[in-house]
Amino acid sequence: MDAVQALGKAVIDISKIGADTMVFSAHKIYGPKGCGALYTKDQNHGYSICAEEIDDIAITGFGKAIEISESNLDNHIRHLKSLKSRLIDGLLKIDAGLSVIGEQEGSHPAIVCFNFPTRDGDGLVIQYDFEGICVSSGSACSSGAISASHVLLAIGMDPVMASRCVRFSMGLPTTTDEIDQLIETTERILKG
């Protein structure tokens, strides 16, 4: 199971998840890039993981990042949920027919996807980029793809509607001022 977005942003109770394996990435919790972890339920699973070199420094850094992340997890989740709520409220107030994709109850505290009914998602990504704001028109695993997000299509969204979506992600360093700037920039893009 891909759990890279959950680490440091959600309580991970492996006993309730039921996954035999989970993968994590250090950079998602501000640890060293290029370092990850694989959890396996059964130590006799038969997988073999090979590396030419083991980067002890990166592994130690990942461990420290986990320690810091876990010690502040409740505050991190509260902060991210607050930013997400502010973003949702602000974007929905723009008179442009925007809608949030998916149920928000129990959703990821730092990721939200919006449908822009009259705008192409890829075009919006370019406009945000010109403003110095990084967003995506699909899932993180399909960044750079030209077609609509396979995730949105899998939940039954019409391909045209799926191509008009933008995904916003927040991190721990994200501030309320940056969220307000994003809302203002969105309004200017849509009305300009």
Q: Cα(71)–Cα(64) distance, rounded to whole angstroms? A: 11
SS (H, E, C) 127-162: HHHHCCCCCECCCHHHCCCCCCCHHHHHCCCCHHHH
* Domain match, 21 and 106 both: no
Instruction: Output the furthest CA–CA distance in the chain (Å, rounded).
Output: 59
Tokens representing residue 61 in the block: 């850094």
For residue 170, which amino acid is it?
Answer: M
Q: Supply the CATH number for residue 159's domain.
A: 3.90.1150.10
Range of the domain at 45: 14-71
* Domain match, 123 and 146 both: yes
* Domain match, 91 and 152 both: yes
For the chain, the domain total comes to 2
Backbone angles phi, psi at 25, to 5 degrees: -130, 130
Of 71, 94, 120, the position where a domain reaches its end is 71
Q: Cα(146)–Cα(70) distance, rounded to whole angstroms? A: 37
User: Which of 35, 50, 113, 141 is labelled catalytic?
Assistant: 141
Q: Would you say residue 82 lies in a domain?
A: yes
| Listed residue (107, 103, 123, 104) closest to 166, CA to CA | 123
Q: Would you say residue 9 lies in a domain?
A: no
Q: Cα(78)–Cα(67) distance, rounded to whole angstroms? A: 18
| Listed residue (10, 7, 179) closest to 109, CA to CA | 10
* Domain match, 25 and 38 both: yes
Active site residue 113: no
* Domain match, 83 and 123 both: yes
* Domain match, 79 and 149 both: yes
* Domain match, 82 and 115 both: yes
Of 71, 90, 112, the position where a domain reaches its end is 71
Q: Would you say residue 128 lies in a domain?
A: yes
> The tokens 């990435």 sit on which residue?
25
Pairing state of beta strands 99-101 and 111-115? antiparallel
* Domain match, 62 and 118 both: no
User: pLDDT (tens digit, 0 to 9) for every residue of the chain, 192 residues total?
Assistant: 788 888 888 888 877 887 888 889 999 999 999 898 888 877 665 555 555 677 899 999 999 999 999 999 999 999 999 999 999 999 999 999 999 998 888 899 999 999 999 999 999 999 999 999 999 986 555 445 556 778 888 888 888 889 999 999 999 999 999 999 999 999 999 997
> The tokens 């077609």 sit on which residue?
147
Model's pTM, two decimal places? 0.84
* Domain match, 55 and 101 both: no
* Domain match, 27 and 56 both: yes
